[in-house]
Amino acid sequence: MYNGQQPIFILKEGTTRTSGKSAQSNNIAAAKAVADAVRSTLGPKGMDKMLVDSMGDVVITNDGATILKEMDIEHPAAKMIIEIAKTQEQHCFDGTTSAVVIAGELLKRSEELVEQNVHPTVICEGYRLASDKAVEIIDSHSFEVDDKMLKEVAKTALTGKSAGAVKEFLSEISVKAVLSVSQEDDDGVIVDLDDIKIQKRQGGSIRDSTLIDGIILDKERVHSGMPRSVADAKITLINSAIEVKKTEVDAKIQITDPSMLSQFLEEEEQYLKSLVEKIQSVGSNVIICQKGIDDIAQHFMSKAGIFAIRRAKKSDMEALSKATGARIITNIDDLKEDDLGFASKVEEKKIGDSDMIFIEGCDEAKSVSVLLRGGTEHVVDEVKRAFEDAIGVVAVAHEDGAVLTGGGSVISAVSRDLRSYAEGIGGREQMAIEAFSSALEVIPRTLSENAGLDPVNTIIDLRKAHSEGKTNHGVNVFEGGVKDMSKAKVFEPSRVVEQAIQSASETAVMILRIDDVISSKGTAPMNPEDFDGMGM
């Protein structure tokens, strides 16, 4: 009762509310749980997760973003941690697990400070200072990249995945693919990964995967009478249907004589024949149509020796235009020889249990395709995820022109430098910066734990190496101890580490500032204690 009056509650019945330290500890616990869920997948010795959805579909992966995406998570703070993985995946293509693990550790360290009566806003300010300083330190450790190093970047991304056994083979394909589609302008190098089409097909081994300087379509020719292979292909891309045009308004045709019916059908046939003749007259011998192709038109095309595909995807049409130099046309009457594209060969091949179309040997291919193979559906799915990470990090390293040594070496260097930086910062923010510094060591610690090494000894060896100025030394997960990562050729793009630290600290700060969680989803009964202070 308030001054003898009945309190007025402004929240719906069934609403639950958690506030103060219990709200913070709940949020931190949820974030730590998400980080712990993916922690064992980090590094070359990381393990995989099997995820089974409500429909019984199985995904086997150690890709952090995929694991978190497949998990059905309800808690709002946990969802914020998943956003880190999404952002990391979109901007850097790798480092998703690292980003999530760092965020979980930052929150764990902040909880210890809150228990020592350090105010959350002070911790947030310290974390912001530490994050900004960390980016400066990372820049000082980065060095320029060349084409040889791009291959090492790809191999580092593939290490620890199920495709790691053939990382040499896949890294070569990924570097060739990225360099084929990269373009330079006034702003520097730009790589549009949409220009690399990835097709997967189960059957065969991973080593059967191939890079095509052109496009692979998961289609087959429309008529069995057409040639299976066309050399020196002159390609027409059409985004409208090759069939008799329908009137836009309802129309009736009255036929009073059987000869009129045959004349009508003959007229339709002549119209379709004229379309095929028009295509033939400009020298085209391959037609790729975004819409349908009439059966009669297919017949005329097969007689003329034209190779045709129908119902191609819009994205494939655009990729074909880039690869072959063909213009996409809408009206066949407007078709000119200049509109045709060129490929040295268009062929239908049987891959696995179905046919695929290979359009290869494009003169100035600005779009390429990769066909990935694998023994089973789950294997080829995981190979595709690993390969997408590989081309992603190669593209990022090629665009930025800067890489770092991996194996937790740069993270350890940042951690050490932040400790020195904290000593020059007055006030309680110093405690937060020191906590940030300690939190970063979760990466080398987790790498050693996942490799079955002693994490304490590893951290001690790492600190000793860095105190002697060996800043390129990181965790040697294969033999134990520490090792020069530049000699071991373990490299990753600087953007991956920068983004991981920044997004982890920003999310940790956001979660840390929350001291009240009001949820209308709950089915808990109305309890006045839950709404203390909400009365009016």
Q: Is 97 among the catalytic positions?
A: yes
Q: Is 218 among the catalytic positions?
A: no
Q: Which two three-digit tokens encode residue 312? A: 């191609």
What is the Cα–Cα distance from 157 to 490, expressed in whole angstroms? 9
Catalytic option among 96, 324, 405, 471: 96
Catalytic option among 16, 61, 63, 159: 63
Other CB atoms within a 10 A radius of the CB of residue 321 amount to 19
- For residues 307 and 285, the answer to whether their CB atoms sit within 8 Å is yes
Cα torsion for 415, 416, 417, 423, to the nearest 10°?
100
| Rounded to 5°, angle at Cα 69 from 65 and 74 | 130
Catalytic option among 195, 339, 389, 530: 389
Q: Is 330 among the catalytic positions?
A: no
Closest among 40, 80, 81, 77 to 61, alpha carbons compared? 40
The label of the residue with tokens 């550790």 reads 105
Q: Is 96 among the catalytic positions?
A: yes
Within 364-441, residue ranges assigned H as helices are: 377-400, 409-423, 429-440
Decide: helix, strand or coil at residue 474.
strand
Q: Which two three-digit tokens encode residue 39? A: 């922690």
What is the Cα–Cα distance from 481 to 83, expressed in whole angstroms? 34
> In this structure, is the dihedral angle defined by the CA atoms of residues 205, 208, 212 and 215, taken in order, positive or negative?
negative
What is the Cα–Cα distance from 440 to 106, expressed in whole angstroms? 8
Catalytic option among 41, 97, 236, 324: 97
Q: Which residues are catalytically annotated?
A: 63, 96-97, 389
